Amino acid sequence: MKTVLMIAPYFIPRRRVGALRPFKFVIHLKKFGYEPVVLTIGAPGSNKTTIEKELLDGITVIETSTPFDQTGASEKKSETTGFSKNFSKAVLNWIDKQTPLDTWIYLFKAKYRSIYTEIKKIDPDIVWATGDPWSGLWLGEKISNDLNKPFIADFRDPWTLSQVNLRARSSFSSHWDQKIEKKILARADRITFTSEQARIKYTKTYSNIANKSVTIFNSFDRNLLNPNPVNKWDENLDRDKLNVIFFGRFRRLSPVKHIAEALNNLKIYTPDILKDIRIHSFGFPDSECHDNIQKLDLGKFFVSHDSVMPEYMTSVLKSADILLLSTNVERDDIIPAKLWDYLSVDVPILSIVSNPEIGEIIEKTKSGIQLHPEETGRIAELLTDFVLAKKKNGSVAFSEKSDHANREIYSSEYTTRQLASILDELTIHV
């Protein structure tokens, strides 16, 4: 069995979207003849679920310890207050802004010798690395080069070609990001993207990567689901209302603006319909989204719940009448991770995003409907139809039955098979 080094700065039990893609590959790779070894940043204080422990049993995970970790700072209470706290935050933000890639690069550079020594003993046949954080790709390129092994660079999101900056960047760091990205793309034996729109964007800018780039979608995994979950979400939703669940927090990357404008349309023209709608989300909206809701006087129609652990996901999703998919309108080259969770259950999806690729997936699986975010009048009409359908039938359903056969091509075993075929191609002479 060949060995593949999977460099994933974020990995389970770290509760970040970036941890799920490598995790869902890792748990299936042995079926295709590959022993995965995961290199990640340790997440002390975080715990795996019972299912996660079972799925990772026997898989080598090398954790690099870190003396600093700001990724979960917003969820932690700090004893530092006032001027000291604000000053520290300003300094950290300045350092982050000036740093090419991301601040994890300091950890990887400081510990590279010990990391490389340990990986050299394992002697992997091929190196796979994902970003962001983009320092993961830097580390993957360096290790693969030093080991003289094939290298796969996995772009979960567009990097320098993103239309929405995830972090503030200085001209210095932006310049170096572009140089480093170009080097990684040139060095990689294969480049994988999570959406075809992103892949096309990159091949137009870097024409020399066209023949070595491929799209492998993110996925859902039935191993992580329980059709009759023991862990029930204990929120009692008003079943007389149309309960629309957005399985996340409204924020800059997932704005509330367009669904709020659709509700405002109903408030003006059909208030009797609006009173029967509730939009549920998880985590308090950011200040911009909160202000948007309040300015339209729609606060009572939006319900914020505490975030839930993964084992409650199935119960949460199945409690919805409609699952809402939304992202920043400028992010027309990404596919929100929520889509794959939504495809794991038979609940209609209302997608209000700008990437047409998502609409094609929803149409292919007959799992819902997609509208452009700016079609707020049409969104309002659909919500009206849903409210009336629930009053008449007790539930909401689309005319076409879900296509479960087509959904399976978005399962993690299927996408891992796609990755394994690339691994086979690049290690054929090993």
pLDDT of 76: 41
Q: Is it true that domain 2-219+411-426 has CATH number 3.90.1150.10?
A: no
Burial 178-190, CB ≥16 within 10 A → b, else e:
eebbeebbeebbb
Q: Which residues are 245's β-sheet partners?
A: 280, 323
pLDDT of 116: 97
pLDDT of 44: 84
User: How do the residues of the chain divide into helix, strand and coil, expressed in percent and rounded to 5?
Assistant: 45, 15, 40
Q: Are 414 and 408 in contact (CB under 8 A)?
A: yes
- The domain defined by 223-409 folds into Rossmann fold (3.40.50)
213 backbone dihedrals φ, ψ, rounded to 5°: -110, 150
Q: Are 351 and 370 in contact (CB under 8 A)?
A: yes
Q: Kindly state the tokens that stand for 137.
A: 């790709």
What gap in Å lies between CA 358 and CA 370, rounded to an integer? 8
Which residue type occupies 299?
Answer: G
Q: Which of 76-80, 300-304, 360-364 has the lowest mean pLDDT?
A: 76-80
Burial 316-354, CB ≥16 within 10 A → b, else e:
bbbbbbbbbbbbbbebbbbbbbbbbbbbbbebbbbbbbb
Which residue type occupies 229?
Answer: P
Sheet strands (E) in 85-134: 126-131
pLDDT band with cut points at 50, 70 and 90 for residue 401: low
Looking only at the bridges linking them, the beta strands covering 126-131 and 2-7 are: parallel
Sheet strands (E) in 232-341: 242-245, 277-282, 302-305, 322-326
* Fold matches, 2-219+411-426 and 223-409: yes
Query: pLDDT tens for residues 17-59?
Result: 889 999 999 999 999 999 999 999 998 888 888 889 999 999 9
Structure-model confidence comparison of residues 409 and 68, the more confident one: 409
What gap in Å lies between CA 245 and CA 105, rounded to an integer? 37
What is the rounded average pLDDT of the residues 379-405? 82
Neighbours of 55 (CB within 10 A): 20
What ranges do the domains of the chain cover?
2-219+411-426, 223-409
Q: Which of 221-235, 290-304, 348-362 has the lowest mean pLDDT?
A: 221-235
pTM: 0.89
Which residue type occupies 160?
Answer: T
How does DSSP classify residue 311?
Answer: G
Mean pLDDT of the chain: 90
pLDDT band with cut points at 50, 70 and 90 for residue 233: confident
Q: Kindly state the tokens that stand for 180.
A: 């480093």
Query: pLDDT tens for residues 58-109?
Result: 999 999 988 766 555 444 444 445 656 676 778 888 888 899 898 999 999 9
Q: Are 143 and 127 in contact (CB under 8 A)?
A: yes
